[in-house]
Chain A
Amino acid sequence: MKNKNHSSLVLIDDDLDLLDLLSSFFKQRGFVVYSYPDARIALSEIESKNISVDVVISDLIMPFMSGLEFIKRIREFNSTLPVILMTAEGSLETAVEAISAGAYDFVLKPLHVPQLLISVQRALYLNQIQKENLSFKNLFTENDFMGLKGVIGKSAGFKKAIELAKRVSNSSANIIIFGESGSGKEVVAKAVHELGERKNAPFVAINCSAIPENLLESELFGFAKGAFTGAVGSKIGLFEEANKGTVFLDEIGDLALALQAKLLRVIQEKKIKRIGENTTRDITCRIICATHKDLKKEVEKGNFREDLYFRLNVIPISMPPLRERIEDIIPLSEYFLKKFCLINNVNLKGFSKEALKKLESLPWKGNVRELENAIERAVVLTNKDYVDIDDLPEDPKEVVKSDENKSNDLEHQIFDKSNTMTIDELNKLYIEYVFKKNAYAKEQTAKDLGIDRKTLYRKLKEIEPVANHQH
């Protein structure tokens, strides 16, 4: 709840005794109080923004302008300011009329002042939530790109991807989006969905690499009651859930071969079978896939079905990595700064010049996701009223150098005779070391460790929170 010591209150009543009494009561409780015996003057002061106001308490029946008329007039330029009406006219009809006109609450005279205080505190809380809500809405609507809310980017590569998404949004052709992890593949998929005829239907996204194979199958296709141990009821899959909408299959390159065959059938026939059922069901959703892998190479290696590759690769869209669209870094950073200031209820002025330079110079191997995490961390940790260079992460190249210098530490930890460790501990320590050495790039880490990404995900989860915050 907002600190009452900073809340401002407008009191309107032609009864000067009550005006004095309420004014002193609320001032004693730390409110900034503006009293008016005439609603017309209060209205003019609020409208001209001569005073800042969080809540209004107004009498209902007054000689020059009634409380109802006041509310109607104030709603013409302020739709959220809470107004509490007071009246000695205790009829239900009057109360209904007041609330219909937009009053937040309705209190009866003779006043029970502590009850009025509770009403004021609730109104302040509501006002605070409404203000926050409005700020979030503004944050999204002020970033309007080709009719898409909250989509930020002005680089040629980004524009090209979104423009292509717009062109194909109403077609039924299969789309596959290529791009590094965190580069915004889902943003493009959502753009296809939002810009097309399916925008009012569900958009369902799933990361194929983050879910075990058997679970992924039941997630996608659903299952019938008794299909397997634990299937106590039937469940619809995501293909059915996204009825007339879009299913976004992220990291399709990590899909197991058995599921690739099933997905191919879905794409070809537009029919699915729930696990444990014999009947087929028609699906009406559009399927958009994405991957960070070079699928052509995966086909050559035998990890990805060639027929599925050709089936998916009708309209390929490439999302360039953040380091290739430097122009997007500052607008994205500013957007994330506003977002996390709102979430954390802090007020930061922006970035220092040095911080902006650093933002543009960092390699951002984790792309937009890494940038977002870095800004969130900076907003939370900064002790200034802006984000400075020290609040941003170290250049990974420098971190690697520093980690190399610290390799003796790793060696020391492993071979310290007074501190032996288990194979499991050693395993975790080494994964963390390689992950850091690769500047938190998962693909390279998995490659260096000789494990697949799924295994790396699982291992990193076990190491939490040391390494997993970089996801």
Chain B
Amino acid sequence: MLISSAQKLKYLNRRLDEIIELRSFASEKNFLCIKMIAHKLKGNGKTFGYPLITNYGQLLEEAASNEDVEKVSQLIFDLSDTVSFNLNELN
């Protein structure tokens, strides 16, 4: 299935908003909300052509389940990096 650039752009921009939310939840140690967002990322990344986002979603969901603060922070950073890289590519 072909995903248009506009759809991809919209998708990645929404992820930027989610990364802000993830950072905020991480500082509050709100692992339940992190898990919910991570679960969504796991489900939608590959569909939009970003398998790496699906991978980060899965790892983040596991890390949040284990309440592993350090891993959660690292994965949010990596996710943010990936989203920014792909946004630059599109622009």
Contacts and interface: CB of A to CB of B under 8 A. Distances in A.
Contact of A61 (B14, B39, B48): B39
Given A21-B47, A25-B1, A63-B36, A109 B42 contact: yes
B12 to A, nearest CB: 10
A450 to B, nearest CB: 75
User: In terms of DSSP, what is the predominant structure of the interface of chain B?
Assistant: helix
Contacts of B10: 17, 20
Interface in A100-146: 109-111, 113-114
Interface size class of B (residues with CB under 8 A): 10 to 19
Interface string A68-109: 000000000000000000111000000000000000000001
A27 to B, nearest CB: 13
B47 A16 contact: no
B84 to A, nearest CB: 18
A109 B1 contact: no
A65 interface: no
Contacts of A87: 43
A88 B47 contact: no
A447 to B, nearest CB: 73
Contact of A113 (B1, B14, B42): B1
Interface in A1-48: 14-18, 20-21, 24-25
A92 B82 CA distance: 31
Contact of B42 (A16, A24, A88): A88
Dominant secondary structure of chain A at its interface with chain B: mixed
A17 B1 contact: no
A113 B2 CA distance: 10
B7 A109 contact: no
Interface in B61-81: none
A111 B47 contact: yes
A111 B49 CA distance: 11
Interface in B42-56: 42-48, 51, 54
B43 A110 contact: yes
Contacts of A63: 36
A17 B48 contact: yes
A111 B45 CA distance: 9
A110 B47 contact: yes
A113 B48 CA distance: 10
A18 B43 contact: yes
Contacts of A110: 42-47, 51, 54
Given A20-B7, A114-B1, A109 B43 contact: yes
Interface of A: 14-18, 20-21, 24-25, 59, 61, 63, 86-88, 109-111, 113-114
Interface of B: 1, 3, 7, 10-11, 14, 36, 39-40, 42-48, 51, 54, 57
Given A21-B7, A88-B43, A110-B47, 6 more contacts: A18-B43, A18-B44, A18-B47, A25-B1, A61-B39, A110-B54
